[in-house]
Every structure is written in C-alpha cells, then in structure tokens.
C-alpha cells in the first residue's frame, strides 16, 4: 500500500446494533476495493474483521479491528466495532480516532436500541446511515425512512430509492441526481426511472431538498421560492452538511450490493483527517497549557495509542493514530506518560489479523507497532523537542463484578498474570483482590463481557477459571448500652496474669468509624499505663462480631473501673481482660447486622422511568431524585443496598432493551431488619 497524506486519509467507525450486518458490509467493501477475491463468511469464520478464536466461536464481533482499503485515490481506515453493549470500550476507542461514522441500520425493524446508541455516541461525528438487508422479506424501506426522519429530524437526507424485483434489489434511483442505475455484476448501468416509482421517489426528493435548504440561507431562500437546486448545489450542500454534522445521508442496499455508492459517498461526503484542522486538544508537557491543533504533517512526529492487543505469540501489538508529522522506521520517541523512550524498530499497517510492513506513515493515518516495552492504551509518543500529551479516551467504568475462581491448583498461580495481560488490552476491565472476603474480583461492563474474558484466559493463556457471585462485605454494630465487668486471672507458676476492667459499651450510630475509646477511671483503680492496653484489646475485639464474624462499627467503650495487681498485672493481661469483657457484653448489647448502601445513578429514556422506579422499590431502595437531561435522557438517583444490585447490569439491560447505563458509589451502612439477616447471610 502506497504512502497517503492527511488530505487523502479518512478514518471511519462502523457502528450499529448487534447482527445489523456491519462485518458483512465491511467484507463487501474490502472485496469491492480489491483487497480480497471472495467474500468471507461469518458462519465459517473467514471474515477479515472477526478473526479472533472467540469471535469465530460466537459468530459476532468482540474486538475493534481495522480494515484499511484504497478507493478513488483515497485511503479509508474502516474501524469495525462490536454491536453488543458489553464491548462499549471498543466503540469508544474507535470513535476517539475516527473523523466519521457509518451507522448500519437493519431494514426490517423499528429504530433499534443499538441504532440509537450508535447515533448518540457518534453525535459529534460526520455520519452516513446505511439501511442494510433490503433483500429481507420483512424489509420496508419507506417505513424505515419515515422512522429515521421522525427520530432525527430534518437532517436525514436519503440519497437513494431501491429498485426491487421479487424482493431483490436490482438497482436504485439516485434521488440527489434523479438518475436510475441498474446492477450489472459489480458495476451499474444507467436505467430510466420507472414511472410507477415516481410516487415513491418524489417524497424522498422532497426530503433531500428540505435537508439541502437547511444548510445555508441562500439555499433556503431558493427552496422557499420553489426554485430547483442544481446537481452541483446538491452535492456541495450534502458535503457541507455532512462535514458540519447537520446532514446525514441515507443509503441502502444489502451486504453485497449497493456497496459502490457507499464507498463513493464516503469519499465524497466525509472529511479527510487533514480537513479536521481544529480537532485535537493537546497539553504542552512543559507549560501545561492546552492547544488545539490538526493532523499537521509539518509538525514534529507524534502519535496516540488507542488500542493494545495482547498476543501470546507475537507479543503486545499497539494500534495508534499518527497525530502530527511522519512516523518512520528507526525513530526514537518519548512516551510522555511513562517518561520512557521507545524505538520504532518496525512499522505496520494492520488489516484484520494481517500485519503489512511499511516504512512510513503520515499524520491522520492508523498504524501498528509490536513489542513496545512501556507503552499502553491512551499513551502519547512524541519527540523530545515536541512534548505534547493528547486527550485520553474516556472509557466506560466497569461496575458488574464476579469472583474469579481457578479450576485446579495449576491455575492458581497463573490467574493474576493472565488477567494482568488482559487488563492491558481492555481498559473497561478491573481486577482486585478482596482480602476481607478472600475473593479475587473481576469487574466488567456485563455478564457477556466477563464470559468472554474467561474464554480469552483459556484460549490465549491456557488458564481455566470459573465465575462465582461476589460476597458482600457486611459489618456489625450494637443497638443497646450495657456495662460489663470482667476479670482475667491466671496463675501458672512464677508471675501470674491479672487484669480487671469495667467498661460501658454504647452505640454511637456513626458507622464511619469502628470505635471510640474513653476513660473515666477514678482513684487509680486502673493505672494510666494500662489504658493503651485496654484500647489495644478493643481494637482486636471490633475486628470480629458475633452474627457473621464481620468487623464491628459504631461502638463507644468507656473504661469506668477495674483493678490491678502490683506484681501480676501487665499490658497483655489488661488487653486480654478487655477482649473477654467485649465478648461477654455482646450478649447484652443487642448486636445487629449492617449492610452497605450505594448511591445508584441510572440514565434511561423516559419511557422506562416507571419500570425502574418500581424495580428500585422492590429492591429495598429509595428514589432520591429524577432529572431531565439535555440529551433527552432521564437521570434517576437512588439509594439502595449493594447486595440488591449485584446483577443490576443484566436487569437494566432487560428492562430497557439494552439502552440504560448506570454508575454507583458507596454511601455508608444501615442496620438490617432482623427478619432479613438470615436470608442475606445465606446469599
């Protein structure tokens, strides 16, 4: 592949609902561009994009993959993304480095949740909508256009009306040019617009004219005066509207036909990397001042790593976008995040799983390096005299957790190192050891995400694990006050052990600290030298309660009285006496279980508000507030027991058809009703 410059490079994220046909459309574009001689097949696992073992097994995209192709003297880097919501991090990475997006929309459904999510995530990108699957028996192009128009307004600009024969698309009318085309193999030929189609074509022509009119005042005046637009005006307006994100052209076809006009439209309407001259926010490492630059080839070289791929055989692969200058073999670049130097030993273009070696890449292009020693996703590499840091990708935070348990002793030692490698690859993954519950906990976006991590551990690193429910870290406290006097006396030859304490135990209801220690001893019944020993005994005692052996919170202990022996008393004796006193007193203090509560923030469409509020009430939670946001979503703020939302990622997906998102943070502990204690401890 020849060297392309920033004005002839475009980076396009391909988004859409699960099973909308994104990978098949990309496969068809690759074949049409001459990369492959035949179409790969998802069922047989032969597509360029879905080459991972787990993707082939599941027959769905899991990872972001790059498919570069050449079309009309331009280079288009297609970024294939998963449609499943659990792999949102791959979409976020793709959109961070793409200037544009193609939204693949099924022809036979309503506006799916996946389409809504894709449109929302790509709201600041130039977009084309591709209505796919017109050969499906349930396809309804006219209805789909109306749905898109209703959902996204006057910006929807359909370019085509399909010419159908026996539920097969045999050609199309280019409504922008009012020209008919009929398919002849991979090419098209002119074809007169059938008279009977004019009734369908003219409303679409009206949509285009309305969209074009809204691009500037002159065209709007012409539209209001009912003057026809020229082809040149329409083409100019469409490109300007797409680049300004006020117009969204709509194309149609199948995963095999209608592909050429899609490629032509991407070149005609989408901005090149060099066109986005004010798109990158950088921070000067020396002055800490921010600046806005573009993909400028005249500046010193710099790049941004947007994805890391861990391969046990090849090593670490780093996908990057060249932000400024030219990246060449032999360069030494500074990783400003790690303050380490990396050598560019080899430079590649990655096409699916294939690595194509090149000597140089220009600003705006996407490349790959292998075996970098220090660099990971979100790192910036630049020269010593151009020390800039690019804005990181803001990945979705993982909140869905499961405990990871190795299968067999052989996997126990390998599990941490294997997951550490996958953490390099997936920033939406989190791993931590909970010393209290003795569990190793893995957090992801959802259950499918974590299941695929388990599969990767086995396929890539030969580590067998299973997922289990996480244990909740409960606490204990007391509800009553009680004064307990306890003596510890032990004679075993020589010096004995003697210490006696009288302690008032009271609830503080402050569950942010475990204990408060006070002393009100009169007359030297317990010498001051032994007060620290009494407190040490208290510290040991509150480590474990009597209900479920959880740490104790919210207790005040006041040393009132006691006695000592001039010979046999010691710090250890008073520490032991305090621990015995605590244990004896707990029988009278009405111990109780405390459970952790969280503040849960849920973002949903208003239509799901009632269902979510009912859900929160059933889960012993309380709705604190609801708020309407600028993007049309509702924010629901709740306070709810942590144990009730362990499966919330799955429940929310079910209730909102995958649309809702959420986050939460710890908010404190509350006493559990006695009738729930046994059920919660079992759970």
One domain for residues 501 and 368: no
pLDDT at 227: 92
Instruction: Confirm if 522 and 529 have CB atoms less than 8 A apart.
Output: no
Q: What is the DSSP-derived secondary structure letter of residue 451?
A: H
pLDDT at 120: 87
| Mean pLDDT of the 426-437 span | 94
pLDDT at 162: 92
pLDDT at 277: 59
Is a pLDDT exceeding 60 seen at residue 543? yes
Closest CA to 577 of 605, 627, 537: 537
pLDDT at 588: 96
Is a pLDDT exceeding 80 seen at residue 493? no
Instruction: Confirm if 500 and 525 have CB atoms less than 8 A apart.
Output: no
One domain for residues 492 and 508: yes
Please report whether residue 1 resides in a domain: no
634-662 pLDDT, tens per residue? 899 999 999 999 999 999 999 988 778 89
Instruction: Confirm if 48 and 351 have CB atoms less than 8 A apart.
Output: yes
Please report whether residue 546 resides in a domain: yes
One domain for residues 482 and 462: no
| CA–CA dist 176, 204 (Å, integer) | 9
pLDDT at 111: 85
Q: Please report where in the chains the tokens 């007359």 appear, as a residue.
A: 523
| CATH classification of the domain holding 431 | 3.30.70.870
Instruction: Confirm if 333 and 305 have CB atoms less than 8 A apart.
Output: no
Q: How many domains does the chain have?
A: 5
Please report whether residue 579 resides in a domain: yes
Please report whether residue 60 resides in a domain: yes
One domain for residues 624 and 485: no
One domain for residues 288 and 255: no
| CA–CA dist 412, 433 (Å, integer) | 13
| CA–CA dist 51, 130 (Å, integer) | 24
Is a pLDDT exceeding 60 seen at residue 565? yes
Residue that finishes a domain, picked among 247, 275, 303: 275
Q: What is the DSSP-derived secondary structure letter of residue 529?
A: G
351-400 pLDDT, tens per residue? 999 999 999 999 999 999 999 999 999 999 999 988 999 999 999 999 99
> How far is CA 136 from each of CA 109, 254, 256, rounded to the nearest angstrom?
11, 9, 13
One domain for residues 581 and 632: no
| Mean pLDDT of the 524-551 span | 95
Please report whether residue 395 resides in a domain: no
| CA–CA dist 482, 507 (Å, integer) | 10
Domain of 464, in residue numbers: 400-468
91-124 pLDDT, tens per residue? 999 999 999 999 999 998 788 888 888 998 999 9
pLDDT at 110: 82
Closest CA to 21 of 366, 262, 329: 262
Which conformational region is residue 339 in: left (phi greater than 0), alpha (psi within -120 to 50 degrees), or beta? left
The pair of structure tokens assigned to 375 is: 């660099």
- Mean pLDDT over each residue of the chain, to the nearest integer: 92
- Three-class secondary structure assignment of 88-150: HHHHHHHHHHCCEEEEEEECCCCCCHHHHHHHHHCCCCEEEEEEECCCCCCCCHHHHHHHHHH
Is a pLDDT exceeding 80 seen at residue 88? yes
> What percent of the chain clears pLDDT 70, i.e. is strictly above it?
99
276-286 pLDDT, tens per residue? 755 677 777 77
Higher pLDDT, 291 or 156: 156
| CATH classification of the domain holding 632 | 3.30.70.240
| CATH classification of the domain holding 325 | 2.40.30.10
Q: Please report where in the chains the tokens 């020396």 appear, as a residue.
A: 286
One domain for residues 35 and 165: yes
Instruction: Kindly give the pairing relationship between strand 515-519 and strand 555-563.
Output: parallel
> How far is CA 515 from each of CA 542, 554, 555, 587, rounded to the nearest angstrom?
8, 6, 5, 18
One domain for residues 299 and 378: yes
pLDDT band at 190 (very low <50, low <70, confident <90, very high): very high
pLDDT at 278: 53
pLDDT band at 288 (very low <50, low <70, confident <90, very high): confident
pLDDT at 659: 77
> How far is CA 134 from each of CA 144, 187, 416, rounded to the nearest angstrom?
11, 18, 48
Instruction: Confirm if 541 and 583 have CB atoms less than 8 A apart.
Output: yes
| CA–CA dist 104, 252 (Å, integer) | 9
pLDDT at 279: 61
Closest CA to 17 of 163, 96, 116, 94: 116
- For the stretch 106-109, contacts whose Cβ atoms lie closer than 8 Å and that sit 24 or more positions apart, written own/partner, are 106/17, 106/19, 106/20, 106/21, 106/131, 106/132, 106/133, 106/136, 107/131, 107/132, 107/133, 107/134, 107/136, 107/139, 107/140, 107/141, 107/144, 107/252, 108/133, 108/136, 108/137, 108/138, 108/139, 108/140
pLDDT at 114: 84
Please report whether residue 481 resides in a domain: yes
pLDDT band at 470 (very low <50, low <70, confident <90, very high): very high
| Mean pLDDT of the 259-276 span | 92
pLDDT at 112: 82
Is a pLDDT exceeding 90 seen at residue 312? no
End-to-end alpha-carbon separation of the chain, Å? 59
Percent helix, percent strand, percent coil in the chain, to nearest 5: 30, 35, 35
Instruction: Confirm if 207 and 198 have CB atoms less than 8 A apart.
Output: no
Please report whether residue 196 resides in a domain: yes
| CA–CA dist 159, 235 (Å, integer) | 11
Instruction: Confirm if 105 and 129 have CB atoms less than 8 A apart.
Output: yes
One domain for residues 105 and 237: yes
- CB neighbour list of residue 637: distance below 8 Å, 6 or more residues apart: 599, 600, 601, 602, 623, 624, 625, 626, 627
Neighbours of 357 (CB within 10 A): 9
For residue 151, give the 3-state DSSP assignment: helix
Instruction: Confirm if 93 and 54 have CB atoms less than 8 A apart.
Output: no
Q: Please report where in the chains the tokens 């799983």 appear, as a residue.
A: 353
Residue that finishes a domain, picked among 415, 442, 468: 468
- For the stretch 279-287, contacts whose Cβ atoms lie closer than 8 Å and that sit 24 or more positions apart, written own/partner, are 279/99, 280/323, 280/390, 280/391, 281/390, 281/391, 282/323, 282/388, 282/389, 282/390, 282/391, 283/388, 283/389, 284/387, 284/388, 285/336, 285/387, 285/388, 285/389, 286/387
One domain for residues 172 and 305: no
One domain for residues 30 and 149: yes
For residue 550, give the 3-state DSSP assignment: coil
One domain for residues 79 and 136: yes
Instruction: Confirm if 333 and 382 have CB atoms less than 8 A apart.
Output: yes
Q: What is the dihedral of CA 135, 141, 147, 148, to 10 degrees?
A: 90
| Mean pLDDT of the 445-459 span | 93
| CA–CA dist 249, 130 (Å, integer) | 9
pLDDT at 306: 98
- For the stretch 42-50, contacts whose Cβ atoms lie closer than 8 Å and that sit 24 or more positions apart, written own/partner, are 47/23, 47/352, 48/351, 48/352, 49/23, 49/80, 49/352, 50/23, 50/80
Closest CA to 249 of 214, 208, 217, 188: 208
Instruction: Confirm if 423 and 630 have CB atoms less than 8 A apart.
Output: no
| CATH classification of the domain holding 545 | 3.30.230.10
The C-alpha angle with vertex 515 and arms to 509 and 516, in degrees rounded to 5, equals: 95
């Amino acid at each position: 592949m020849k060297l392309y410059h920033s004005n002839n490079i475009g980076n396009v994220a391909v988004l859409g609902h699960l099973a909308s046909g994104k990978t098949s459309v990309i496969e068809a574009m690759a074949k049409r561009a001459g990369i492959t001689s035949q179409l790969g097949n998802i069922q047989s696992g032969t597509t360029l994009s879905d080459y991972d073992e787990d993707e082939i097994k599941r027959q769905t995209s899991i990872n972001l993959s790059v498919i570069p192709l050449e079309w009309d003297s331009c280079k288009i880097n297609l970024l294939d993304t998963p449609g499943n919501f659990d792999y949102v991090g791959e979409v976020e990475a793709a959109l961070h480095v793409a200037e544009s997006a193609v939204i693949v929309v099924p022809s036979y459904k309503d506006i799916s949740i996946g389409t809504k999510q894709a449109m929302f995530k790509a709201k600041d990108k130039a977009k084309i909508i591709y209505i796919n699957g017109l050969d499906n028996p349930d396809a309804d192009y006219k209805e789909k256009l109306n749905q898109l128009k209703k959902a996204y307004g006057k910006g929807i600009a359909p370019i085509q009306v399909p010419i159908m024969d026996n539920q097969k698309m045999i050609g199309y009318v280019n409504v922008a040019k009012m020209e008919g085309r009929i398919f002849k193999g991979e090419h098209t030929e002119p074809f007169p617009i059938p008279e009977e189609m004019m009734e369908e074509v003219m409303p679409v022509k009206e949509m285009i004219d309305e969209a074009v009119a809204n691009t500037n005042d002159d065209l709007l005046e012409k539209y209001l005066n009912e003057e026809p637009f020229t082809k040149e005006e329409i083409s100019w307006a469409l490109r300007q509207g797409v680049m300004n994100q006020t117009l969204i052209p709509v194309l149609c076809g199948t995963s095999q036909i209608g592909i050429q006009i899609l490629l032509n439209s991407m070149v005609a309407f989408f901005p090149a990397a060099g066109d986005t001259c004010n798109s990158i926010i950088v921070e000067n490492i020396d002055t800490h001042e921010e600046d806005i630059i573009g993909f400028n080839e005249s500046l010193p070289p710099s790049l941004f790593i947007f994805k890391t791929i861990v391969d046990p055989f090849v090593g670490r692969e780093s996908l990057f976008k060249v932000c400024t200058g030219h990246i060449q073999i032999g360069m030494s670049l500074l990783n400003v995040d790690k303050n380490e130097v990396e050598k560019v030993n080899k430079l590649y273009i990655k096409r699916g799983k294939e690595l194509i070696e090149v000597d140089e890449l220009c600003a705006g292009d996407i490349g790959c390096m292998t075996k970098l020693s220090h660099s990971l996703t979100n790192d910036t590499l630049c020269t010593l005299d151009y020390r800039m840091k690019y804005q990181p990708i803001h990945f979705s935070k993982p909140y869905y957790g499961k405990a990871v348990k190795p299968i067999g002793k052989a996997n126990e030692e390998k599990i941490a190192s294997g997951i550490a490698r996958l953490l390099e690859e997936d920033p939406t993954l989190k791993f931590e050891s909970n010393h209290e519950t003795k569990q190793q906990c893995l957090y992801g976006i959802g259950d499918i995400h974590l299941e695929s991590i388990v599969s990767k551990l086995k396929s890539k690193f030969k580590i067998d694990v299973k997922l289990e429910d996480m244990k909740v870290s409960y606490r204990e406290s007391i509800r009553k006050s009680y004064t307990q006097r306890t003596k510890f006396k032990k004679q075993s030859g020589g010096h004995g052990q003697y210490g006696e304490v009288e302690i008032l135990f009271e609830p503080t209801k402050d569950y942010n600290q475990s204990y408060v220690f006070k002393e009100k001893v009169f007359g030297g019944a317990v010498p001051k030298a032994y007060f620290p020993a009494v407190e040490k005994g208290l510290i040991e005692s509150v480590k474990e309660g009597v209900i479920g052996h959880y740490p104790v919170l919210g207790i005040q202990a006041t040393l009132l009285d006691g006695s000592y022996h001039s010979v046999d008393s010691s710090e250890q004796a008073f520490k032991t006496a305090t621990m015995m006193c605590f244990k004896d007193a707990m029988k009278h203090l009405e111990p109780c279980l405390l459970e952790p509560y969280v503040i849960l923030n849920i973002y949903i469409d208003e239509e799901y508000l009632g269902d979510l509020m009912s859900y929160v009430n059933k889960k012993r939670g309380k709705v604190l507030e609801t708020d309407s946001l600028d993007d049309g979503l509702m924010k629901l703020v709740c306070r709810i027991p942590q144990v009730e939302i362990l499966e919330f990622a799955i429940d929310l997906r079910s209730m909102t058809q995958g649309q809702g998102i959420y986050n939460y943070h710890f908010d404190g502990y509350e006493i559990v009703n006695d009738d729930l204690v046994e059920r919660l401890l079992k759970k």
